[in-house]
Amino acid sequence: MAELRVDLDAIRHNTKVVAGLLAQRGIRLVAVTKGCAGDVTVAGAMLDGGADALADTRDAHLRRLREAFPGVELHRIYLPCFSKAFEPGDISYVSSVEAATRVAELGDSSGTRSVMVQVETGDLREGAPAEDLAPLLRAASADPRLELVGLSTNYACFHGDAAGIQASVETLAEAVRSARSSGFEVPRVSGGNSSLLGLLIDGVELPSEVTELRCGEALLLGREALQYRPLPDCRRDAVLLRAEVLESYTKGAPGTKSAPGRRLVLGLGHQDIGFGEVEFRSSELRELGRSSDYMVVGVAPGASTPRPGDSVEMLPSYVAVATAWMSPFAEVRID
């Protein structure tokens, strides 16, 4: 069985580093827990490290976090659904008048629901285009059941590359300035996710309008989420993926001129980590491919070859971590 080994001290350390990097610029850290399936132990380490709030996309995760941390601000960073009731958290993210109304309908006489309006800035996924913001802002501000707490955006989750990341946050800042000039109160601005940390390590300052970032990958994996560069002083081994060697032989492709090579068959595949990429801790190993249950690995010529029963360690990508954490075939071990 594949195993995820999670080091809480390393996650606490990474959170402290990222929180400190942001605090120097007056920016709050909202820790995203969807990569660890809303695990309350990991969330606790993030809070210990300096995160100001928690965010997740799944109702079950949010309910679990609320029970564990009743005094911590929770963000539901998932668009409202219309087919059934959902857990709104303390702040719900919306991108349409219909979605804002849906959040308002969940309220009761005890108070209002807070919403953060999502702005499209180049990811081409969720978010209202800047030119369509005014009706949404008016609806959220006019509904007595709602409190408009700010604007937010997301970039490089569905679309977008390094060339557009600065333009994304600048587009958001301009939307904030425009909204304020039109009389809307926008006290908080969520500039994006771990992708923005790459700008900071390159010495590029974020617009002064940004008040908070939502980060998950940086805390779990110690890297920014666009070009996947390690963050200074962060640990990349906070989450390790281990798989058992099930077979080791020298094999070549029949009918080809390619030289035979040593190959391993590991006990993990798409059912364990989906299509998430991995980086072997040994530079002598490289993935050749995977099926639903297995991964085939090539061993460099002359290298020491793991034997059946040995374990191979990998640094997983964010997709691999999130998939393995939810897979019934991968064991999560938290230290």
Residue-wise pLDDT for 25-56, tens only, equals 999 999 999 999 999 999 999 999 999 999 99
* Mean pLDDT of the region 215-240: 97
On the question of pLDDT at 211 being above 80, the answer is: yes
Asked, for residue 156, whether it belongs to a domain, the answer is yes
pLDDT of 259 reads: 73
pLDDT of 313 reads: 98
| Structural domains of the chain, count | 2
pLDDT of 109 reads: 61
Indicate whether 292 and 325 sit together in one domain. Answer: yes
Q: In which band, very low, low, confident or very high, does the pLDDT at 156 lie, cut at 50, 70 and 90?
A: very high
* Mean pLDDT of the region 90-101: 97
pLDDT of 160 reads: 86
Measured over the CA atoms of residue 254, residue 260, residue 265 and residue 269, the dihedral's sign is negative
Judge whether 38 and 65 are in contact, CB under 8 Å.
yes
Asked, for residue 184, whether it belongs to a domain, the answer is yes
Asked, for residue 40, whether it belongs to a domain, the answer is yes
On the question of pLDDT at 314 being above 80, the answer is: yes
* Mean pLDDT of the region 302-330: 97
On the question of pLDDT at 330 being above 70, the answer is: yes
Residue 62 is encoded by which pair of tokens? 């949010």
Asked, for residue 230, whether it belongs to a domain, the answer is no
Report the alpha-carbon distance of residue 273 to residue 225 in Å, rounded: 18
Which residue type occupies 196?
Answer: L
Measured over the CA atoms of residue 166, residue 58, residue 43 and residue 9, the dihedral's sign is negative
* Mean pLDDT of the region 231-253: 95
Judge whether 120 and 93 are in contact, CB under 8 Å.
no
Report the alpha-carbon distance of residue 227 to residue 206 in Å, rounded: 18
Question: pTM for the complete prediction?
Answer: 0.96
Q: What SS3 state is found at 35? A: helix
pLDDT of 256 reads: 66
Indicate whether 136 and 69 sit together in one domain. Answer: yes
Judge whether 218 and 234 are in contact, CB under 8 Å.
yes
Q: In which band, very low, low, confident or very high, does the pLDDT at 75 lie, cut at 50, 70 and 90?
A: very high
Q: In which band, very low, low, confident or very high, does the pLDDT at 107 lie, cut at 50, 70 and 90?
A: confident
- Where in the sequence is the domain holding 49, given as residue range(s)? 8-221
Which of 221, 254, 272 is a domain's end point?
221
Q: Which of 72, 57, 5 is nearest to 216 (CA)?
A: 57
On the question of pLDDT at 335 being above 80, the answer is: yes
On the question of pLDDT at 108 being above 80, the answer is: no
Asked, for residue 108, whether it belongs to a domain, the answer is yes
Which residue type occupies 221?
Answer: L
